[in-house]
Amino acid sequence: MDCLVVVRVEYEKYLKNLDEFAKSALVETFNIGASRAADTLSRMTGLTVNVTVPGMEITSIKNLPEKVGEDVKAAVYIQLSKGFSGHAFFIMDLNNALTMSDLMMGMPPGSTTELDEMAKSAVMEAGNILISSFANALSEFLGTEIEQTPPNLVIDFLPAILDLALADIGQYCDYTLLLKTQMKIEGIEFKEHFIILPHPSSMKKIIDTLLGGLV
Amino acid sequence: MQEIKVGIGDYAVGKKAGIISTYGLGSCVGITLYDRLTKVGGLLHALLPEAAYYGNRGNPAKYVDTGLQLLIRDFQKLGGNPRRAEAKLFGGAHMFTNITSEQLMIGKRNVETAKRELKRFGIRLVAEDTGGKGGRTIYFDLSTGKVRMRKVSNGKVIEKIY
């Protein structure tokens, strides 16, 4: 039991003391996942899709609500477990969700004016494809199986949406890694996007895998 | 008017005037305490139920039980009396229907722990808006003790006063 506590204490130190090399290695890994996610969505919809991860930051859980703002957003959420534990969110403001629904259903942007059941399921499908293929890329990279829950769509204040993931990570440390992505579909820029909150142990696993490969 | 923003695993107290707010309570709980006589009030935004269950790790204000102790301590410093205090409780939602693991039924456990701890300190719970699927944002008015709550229902923001 003591041993477990010691390991947990180390996550916080580990997270706060990540060097630039480890950070860029992590960002690179998430970029590989993001580009795979874009390819898959593109193949399934015939649309031009581009997703990149420009960077990441280590932020205290306490300040996260201020950081992300309290706007109402639509989010597709999938929990990842087994080989990689973490929380993946595909987040859009409500206008972007309507556009996404149009694009997914092959209609000109502006056709959908309300987030009805049909629009919601189109958005959920887009989120599901993106997160699943991202997870598949990570799974290959880590050489481990990643389990996923079914997708769930919610419309709510963004910090409330992220709360459950923070509660999970908050069991181990007071800081979390916040990854944000940029996404373009058919030249249309989507704001907010994709937030991955990896479990501290899983982050360490990625870095160990990367560094192990280099030595 | 002065507004103090409380983060996650954070708390604040104040007296007579101003607003203490906290954004986006999902599975988290927000607890307000108010002493009508001295107009001292405080707000805690807690992320997890019992500190001991998680090995008392990290920031004590992120747990309902140890967070409430800190809140009561500072509430008393400003002249608040726990025996006169009125508590209100918000949050503890279960945001995602695809999460069914007992371990992550945090919202329900947060609410249960908050009620148990308030009772232990002999503090009356006078209002609550807890559970359900939606997040909440609360604004606590120190001049009246009233709490304005915003919640998303069917994609629209609704407001209620407690």
Identify the structural domains of chain A with CATH numbers, from first to last.
3-210 (3.40.1550.10)
B102 pairs with which residues across the strands? none
Q: Write out pLDDT tens, residues A147-182.
A: 999 999 999 999 999 988 888 888 888 888 777 788
B21 CA: distance to closest CA in chain A (Å): 12
Question: Which H or E element spans position A125?
Answer: helix A117-142
Q: What are phi and psi of B24, to 5 degrees?
A: 60, 60
Q: Which of A11-25, A78-92, B88-102 has the highest mean pLDDT?
A: A78-92
Q: Write out pLDDT tens, residues A47-62.
A: 899 988 888 888 888 8
SS3 category, A150: coil
A139 and A20 in contact (C-beta within 8 Å)?
A: no
A48 and A42 in contact (C-beta within 8 Å)?
A: yes
Tokens of B48: 């997890």
Cα dist from A29 to A55, A178, A211, whole Å: 11, 14, 12
Q: What is the mean pLDDT of residues A28-57?
A: 88
B93 and B134 in contact (C-beta within 8 Å)?
A: yes
pTM here? 0.87
Q: How many CB atoms lie within 10 A of CB A118?
A: 12
SS3 category, B155: coil
From the list B58, B62, B135, the residue facing A160 with the nearest CB is: B135
Look at residue A119 in the predicted model and tell me its pLDDT: 92
pLDDT at A2 over 50: no
Q: Name residue A146's amino acid.
A: I
Q: What are phi and psi of B80, to 5 degrees?
A: -80, 145
Q: Write out pLDDT tens, residues A178-213.
A: 777 888 888 888 876 677 787 877 877 777 777 665
pLDDT at A3 over 50: no
Q: Name residue A97's amino acid.
A: A
pLDDT at A40 over 60: yes
Half-sphere exposure (CA, 13 Å, Cβ side) for A131? 31
Q: Which of A6-10, A125-129, B117-121 has the highest mean pLDDT?
A: B117-121
Question: Which residue in B5, B68, B59 sits closest to B31, CA to CA?
Answer: B68
Tokens of B129: 């808006």
The rounded distance, in Å, linking the Cα atoms of A32 and A37 is 9
Among this protein's residues, is B61 annotated catalytic?
Answer: no
B141 pairs with which residues across the strands? B19
The rounded distance, in Å, linking the Cα atoms of A51 and A131 is 12
Look at residue A78 in the predicted model and tell me its pLDDT: 93
B36 and B98 in contact (C-beta within 8 Å)?
A: no
**B147 CB near a chain A CB, below 8 Å?**
no
Q: How does residue A30 score in pLDDT terms, banded at 50, 70 and 90?
A: confident
Question: Which residue in B52, B43, B128 sits closest to B92, CA to CA?
Answer: B128
Look at residue A57 in the predicted model and tell me its pLDDT: 81
Query: ipTM, 2 decimals?
Result: 0.86
B117 CA: distance to closest CA in chain A (Å): 19
SS3 category, A101: helix
SS3 category, A71: coil
Q: Going residue by residue through chain B (162 aa), what tens digit of pLDDT does each one get? A: 789 999 999 999 999 999 999 998 999 999 999 999 999 999 999 999 999 898 888 899 999 999 999 999 999 999 999 999 999 999 999 988 777 676 678 999 999 999 999 999 999 999 999 999 899 999 999 999 999 999 988 778 899 999
Tokens of B96: 């995602």
Which residue in chain A is spatially nearest to B52 when comparing CA positions?
A171
Distance of CA A22 to the CA centre of its chain: 19
Q: What is the mean pLDDT of residues A53-75?
A: 86
The rounded distance, in Å, linking the Cα atoms of B57 and A187 is 46
Mutation site, A87, A94, A171, interface B, largest B CB count within 10 A: A171
Residues in chain B within 8 Å Cβ distance of A161: 24, 26, 95, 135
Look at residue A215 in the predicted model and tell me its pLDDT: 40
The rounded distance, in Å, linking the Cα atoms of A123 and A133 is 16
A131 and A76 in contact (C-beta within 8 Å)?
A: yes
Q: Verify whether the Cβ–Cβ distance B23 to A65 is below 8 Å.
A: yes
Tokens of A120: 């919601």
Tokens of A132: 């699943």
The residue that leads in pLDDT, A24 or B112, is B112
Interior angle at CA A176, CA A171 and CA A178, nearest 5: 145
SS3 category, A88: strand
Q: What is the mean pLDDT of residues A141-151?
A: 89
Residues in chain B within 8 Å Cβ distance of A5: 55, 57
Q: For A151, which DSSP code?
A: P
Extended strands (E) in B47-98: 86-91
Which residue in chain B is spatially nearest to A148 when comparing CA positions?
B98
CATH numbers and ranges of domains, chain B? 3-161 (3.30.1330.200)
SS3 category, A21: helix
Q: Is B154 left (phi over 0), alpha (psi -120 to 50) or beta?
A: left
Contacts of A3 (CB under 8 A, 6+ apart): none
SS3 category, B68: helix
The residue that leads in pLDDT, A206 or A90, is A90
